[in-house]
């Protein structure tokens, strides 16, 4: 039997046109998004960001920009950081939910 998924929210792989600009302390970067969920995002970056660091995020998505704050939960050296969302305005949360729903729904043929 395979391991049971423990995540609270399913992840999606957004199109390469969806980018995330982020800042943590003095570090800044614009990164491709490896995976996206209501609870967080995995950003591709070679920059090392310490676990539990606070991160400001701006996601540039087809339905509009989404701003939020998060905390680094995991770091894969030379690959990227996993950021859990901890604060987001209701309007941004709504855009994020709609975008994830739209990207998760297969296009009607």
The answer, yes or no, to whether residue 107 has pLDDT greater than 80, is no
More confident residue, 3 or 46: 46
**Which pTM does this prediction carry?**
0.86
The SS3 call for residue 93 is helix
How high is the mean pLDDT of the chain? 89
* CA max distance for the chain: 47
For 34-84, the pLDDT digits (tens) are 999 999 999 999 999 999 999 999 999 988 999 999 999 999 988 999 999
DSSP alpha helix (H) spans, 18-89: none
Please tell me the predicted confidence (pLDDT) of residue 109: 45
Please tell me the predicted confidence (pLDDT) of residue 90: 97
Can you read off the two tokens belonging to residue 105? 């729904």
């Amino acid at each position: 039997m395979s391991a049971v998924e423990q995540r609270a929210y399913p992840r999606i792989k957004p199109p390469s046109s969806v980018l995330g600009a982020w800042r943590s302390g003095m570090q800044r970067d614009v990164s491709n998004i490896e995976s996206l969920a209501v609870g967080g995002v995995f950003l591709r970056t070679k920059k090392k960001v310490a676990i539990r660091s606070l991160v400001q995020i701006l996601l540039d998505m087809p339905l509009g920009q989404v701003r939020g704050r998060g905390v680094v939960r995991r770091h894969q050296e030379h690959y990227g950081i996993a950021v859990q969302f901890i604060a987001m305005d209701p309007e941004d949360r709504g855009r994020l939910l709609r975008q994830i729903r739209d990207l998760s729904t297969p296009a009607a043929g």
